[in-house]
Amino acid sequence: VPTTESMDSLATKPFEEAFNSGLVLPRTLDPNFEDAIRHVLSNPGSLVRPRLVFQMATTYGLEAAHSQDLAVALEYFHTASLLFDDLPCMDNAFERRGAPCTHLAFGEDGAILTALALINRAYALTWRAVSGAPRAKQREALEFIEKCLGVEGVLNGQSLDLHYLDLPHSRETTERIARGKTVSLIRLTLVLPAMLGSALARELQLIERISLFWGLAYQTMDDLKDVLQSSGQSGKTPARDALLSRPNIAAVMGVRAAIQRLTRFIDLGDRVLRSLLAWKPELDFLDNLRGELHLELARVMRNSNALVERDRL
């Protein structure tokens, strides 16, 4: 009997291969460039997103080949955004997906050109995935992608994130940034494949709301972990967000209020998901995500309680 983990790696295998082989490298490629691209393609990360894209797309009747193209395309967009985020002029990161950051191993130029190669390929794969749909649906999908990835979505979120010092340090600001960065990418993962498939307007609306609540929940969770982890280490490691002057809702509202808000986002997500699953039971794979959010919430609450205990002693 395969364990959960081995079953999981079984389910991941085809996505790993698709991620690795989705960008065909010509023989005339500059060797430096080739090394940088191969470094990125051979470290695909958890592949949770492309699996979700594929499940959403096929559940809504998109054919398997198109579903896979879309899954790889969206993961390439996501990976490209990480390559840019990690650059010294942005987050100045050192490690990504268990390997040294691409710009450290192959230069900033190598990281940038690799990100652009992924983006160029992602658009081509997206077009292929969209090509079978009726024109009105094509237009809707492509406008949706433009919004999520462009100046109304991820790019604005990233810019606000980097210039947080100049902005009011409020809940509104942190949530505006989370909508730009985190929610936009979750919308692409969950809403876009449903939109390209046969999802009805009402279903899309529910999936939109789930993406919003889960996106805000994930961001709040990350912020809480950042604050709790550093406090847990007796303040010796300053919170990374504070170090980088980055938005953190737990720093703005306090841990207790942030946990309350997180609980509320998870609750709201649960409620919308119940409506969606009552209507479309085939989407029950979304229940795993809901379950993980609850597990993480429990962990965060435990850490926060431990902290309160410790401060009492």
> Which residues of the chain form contacts with a copy of itself (CB under 8 A)?
23, 25-26, 28-33, 37, 84, 87, 89-90, 107-110, 112-113, 116-117, 119-121, 123-124, 127, 131, 135, 138-139, 142-143, 146, 149-152, 155-156, 158-160, 162-163, 166, 176
Question: Measured from the CB atom, is 86 or 203 closer to a copy of itself?
Answer: 86
Q: Rounded to an integer, what distance in angstroms lies between the CA atom of residue 42 and that of residue 79?
A: 12
Question: Measured from the CB atom, is 114 or 303 closer to a copy of itself?
Answer: 114
- Locate 213 and state its tokens: 């609540």
Residue 148: phi and psi, rounded to 5, are: -65, -40
Q: How far is the CB of 164 from a copy of itself (least distance, A)?
A: 10
Q: How far is the CB of 167 from a copy of itself (least distance, A)?
A: 8
Q: Rounded to an integer, what distance in angstroms lies between the CA atom of residue 118 and that of residue 128?
A: 15
Q: Rounded to an integer, what distance in angstroms lies between the CA atom of residue 20 and that of residue 277?
A: 33
Question: Measured from the CB atom, is 143 or 267 closer to a copy of itself?
Answer: 143
Question: Measured from the CB atom, is 156 or 205 closer to a copy of itself?
Answer: 156
Q: How far is the CB of 81 from a copy of itself (least distance, A)?
A: 9
Query: SS3 for 100?
Result: strand
Question: Measured from the CB atom, is 155 or 277 closer to a copy of itself?
Answer: 155
Question: Measured from the CB atom, is 90 or 307 closer to a copy of itself?
Answer: 90
Smallest CA-to-CA distance from 294 within 247, 256, 262 is with: 262
Q: How far is the CB of 196 from a copy of itself (least distance, A)?
A: 14
Question: Measured from the CB atom, is 2 or 31 closer to a copy of itself?
Answer: 31
In the chain, the amino acid numbered 67 is S
Q: How far is the CB of 16 from a copy of itself (least distance, A)?
A: 21
Q: Rounded to an integer, what distance in angstroms lies between the CA atom of residue 130 and that of residue 248?
A: 37
Query: SS3 for 235?
Result: coil
CB count in 10 Å sphere of residue 180? 22
Q: How far is the CB of 137 from a copy of itself (least distance, A)?
A: 12
Are 211 and 187 contacting, i.e. CB atoms less than 8 angstroms apart? yes
3-state helix, strand, coil in the chain (%, to 5): 80, 0, 20
Q: How far is the CB of 149 from a copy of itself (least distance, A)?
A: 5
